[in-house]
Chain A
Amino acid sequence: MVAWNKLKITVHTTKTENYLYTNSFDIEGGNFSKAGTIATGIKSILKELGLPNDVVRKSAIVCYEAEINVVSYARKGFINLTVTPKTVQIEITDEGPGIPDIELAMEQGYSTANQQIREMGFGAGMGLYNINCYSDKFDISSEVNKGTFLKIIINTPQCI
């Protein structure tokens, strides 16, 4: 995993005509002690880029939920973050059990979380539901016993 202090230095040097920032972050499945650190780091990056508070807030929620899902269910995964002048694009790919019924998994309150996950206050069946709520565009595909792919786009007002 890339160190956050290193990332902060690279924020302004990756600027090109097409994107303001792009990077990939690994997520370790099953490691609850690190859960949320990627989302926290991404939030700082988006803030540093000067994105509006609302866009930062939505992106942070989406990244957090996606990160928790990978930690809770998958062996490993990664988040690709790309910021363009018009959008924040967040792609999450994991290697894990996959989702047999995506429509059902999208319902608020539906969860396959085990007791241990629920006792920590996760597994409320709000993850994918929240991601959908806070995205302007949300695509999900999944293959059982292989993994799940999410693509989220959050629009930014054209102020940067």
Chain B
Amino acid sequence: MDIETIAKKLNLEVRSASDRLKNNVTGGYTGDLLSDVMANSHEGDIWITRQVHQNIVAVATLKEHAGIILVNSCEPARDTLEKAIQEKIPIMVSNLPAFELTGAIYNLLGKKD
């Protein structure tokens, strides 16, 4: 399933790299500890987090995540956004809390598209 489909179904607001919404999402990871995300997330994951600072872009780039979703309507910091545009990492914003968003995406990915 691509990011665009997930963004539409869950009313996500895209903040960067809107030309990369065809990125394929193969799984997901939820976490705010960067070392944990580094160690346990996978390429193609959509990363759900509350962190808004620029280092999330470095982690997503390094792990080749499909994109990042910020929860609870948190907005990315300005330098985060600049870096995400530069690295072509889609950052999206959801008004849902992490638990609900994770569940919704888990269900979406579980369905054959």
Contacts and interface: CB of A to CB of B under 8 A. Distances in A.
Contact of B55 (A60, A121, A124, A130): A121
Provide the main secondary structure of the chain B interface. helix
Contacts of B63: 60
B34 A121 contact: yes
B36 A124 contact: yes
B109 interface: no
Nearest to B59: A36
Contact of A40 (B35, B56, B58): B58
Contacts of A133: 39
A48 to B, nearest CB: 15
B35 A130 contact: yes
Given A43-B62, A61-B38, A133-B39, A121 B54 contact: no
Nearest to A124: B33
Interface string B34-55: 1110110000000001010111
Interface in B7-58: 32-36, 38-39, 49, 51, 53-56, 58
A36 B62 contact: yes
B100 interface: no
Contacts of A147: none
Given A33-B54, A33-B79, A120-B53, A126 B36 contact: yes
Contacts of A32: 53-55
Nearest to A118: B33
B60 to A, nearest CB: 10
Given A43-B62, A64-B38, A36 B55 contact: yes
Nearest to B34: A121
Contacts of A65: 35, 38
Interface of A: 32-33, 35-37, 39-40, 43, 60-61, 64-65, 68, 120-122, 124, 126-127, 130, 133-134
21 contacts: A36-B58, A36-B62, A40-B61, A43-B62, A60-B63, A61-B38, A65-B35, A68-B35, A120-B34, A120-B51, A120-B55, A121-B34, A121-B56, A122-B34, A122-B35, A124-B34, A124-B36, A126-B33, A126-B39, A130-B35, A134-B39
